[in-house]
Structure 1
Amino acid sequence: MGVSTSTPDKGIAVITVDFPPVNALPVQGWYDLADAVRAAGHDPGIRCVVLTATGRGFNAGVDIKEMQRDTAAGGHGVLIGANHGCAEAFSAVYACEVPVVAAVHGFCLGGGIGLVGNADAIVASEDATFGLPELDRGALGAATHLARLVPQHLMRALYYTSRTATAAELHAHGSVWKVVPRAELPLAARDLAREIARKDGSLLRLAKAALNGIDPVDVRRSYRFEQGFTFEANLSGVADRVRDTFGTPHGAPDREG
């Protein structure tokens, strides 16, 4: 359980997230993930990172149950920790010195969108679904990253309704590189990573920095702007009111670690 790193192929680091039952990460989990991604990117022998997960789905966001149990900092200790932890993890993926390939299966929700939206490429299984059920969870955020996966008007409709998009739909929009049967996902992600890793390592790092430099949106600043509204929702009591009715609309999994 937790975050682990392996190197099954030369030049490739596979970072695996394992927080059963649904990979809803506690505060420390986001920081651990950020540390693992940064360490892989700093390793001069690594040319590509594959971000993957075990279990029922890729990521179910933050551990809301941990937040509901919180009594620190006036009840906002875990909220503050989760917001900073998510920002660290998303930033680590975006700023990783080498390309990051996200291998997504099952559900990819909330914070999961932040991770894959900041990845360089996405390979997904046929059963993968992507969405931000934040409004059903008393939260906001990661619209910055969903906007990197789908066009603006679709992003807004998905955000307001808390609906999800399938891997096939994202493939049609060009944000998912390849859709494969679930059993083939690990191999498909590593195939893409191996193709990337065959390039010159120094040139790959320059390419990653160059591509980040020409992004039209500063994803870190944009996400932090969104988080300000998350704090406002919590301070006003709106978030607690919604979280108190926490359920599983639209077939989404309980987001608890």
Structure 2
Amino acid sequence: METTTNARTGIRTEIALVLGVSLGASAVYSAVSLLAKLTAGKPLADQHATLNASQAPGRPWLDLTYQLLGIAFAVLPALFAVHLLRRDDPQALRVERRPLFDTLTGAGLAALIGIPGLVLYVGARALGLNASVIPAALPDMWWTVPVLILAAVQNAILEEVVVVGYLLTRLRQLHVRLPVALAASALLRGSYHLYQGFGAFVGNAIMGLVFGLVFTRTRRVWPLIIAHSVLDIVAFVGWTLGGNKLLS
């Protein structure tokens, strides 16, 4: 892609708009949420951050409708980002089928991130640097586990496409140095998890650095999506099926 002055200005504007309607906005809200927790008059460790909450308590079919609509619309910024990249360069993201490589790499990344991430969460909670995270608070319905799986995959697609695949590709086109680009991607990932606390910020920023390095070497987002999906499915479904008794 040509990187004249006008082209670079256009890329910068595009990045601001894409992030502004997706995870950049989430980062701002997350920072405000953390500020609200810190000024709530009680320790951060005594507060909660709830993911996947019911949208219509006592009305399961309406709740299901809201959940599915939220998942569907949350994926659109990722699809828009892919459209923008591939409009300029059809080879911007590698999409050829490599199921074995993607699956094995994704599983390895999930194991690499998952166990240290859990240790970091427990440590941050002990130090009072993180709220208690409730991964799922949906009613006990036939659709609860399928919805949580879909929510996990949606999170993975949105975050890995926008924060890694899209952002790192555009920053490379702007000739931003790789360490700076990786840091920007990682800090953005950490920032939209600030509503959970400082431990979540650090843990997700580290995850962002690892995922960013993998992407720069492979130019593939599928392993990242698989790894992220596995991590969230284990957290969401595991909590719902009884993991809350171990970590609450």
Computing the radius of gyration from Cα coordinates, the structure with the larger value is 2
Higher relative contact order (CA 8 A, sep 6+): 2
Larger strand proportion of the pair: 1
TM-score by structure 2 length? Answer: 0.28
Larger helix proportion of the pair: 2
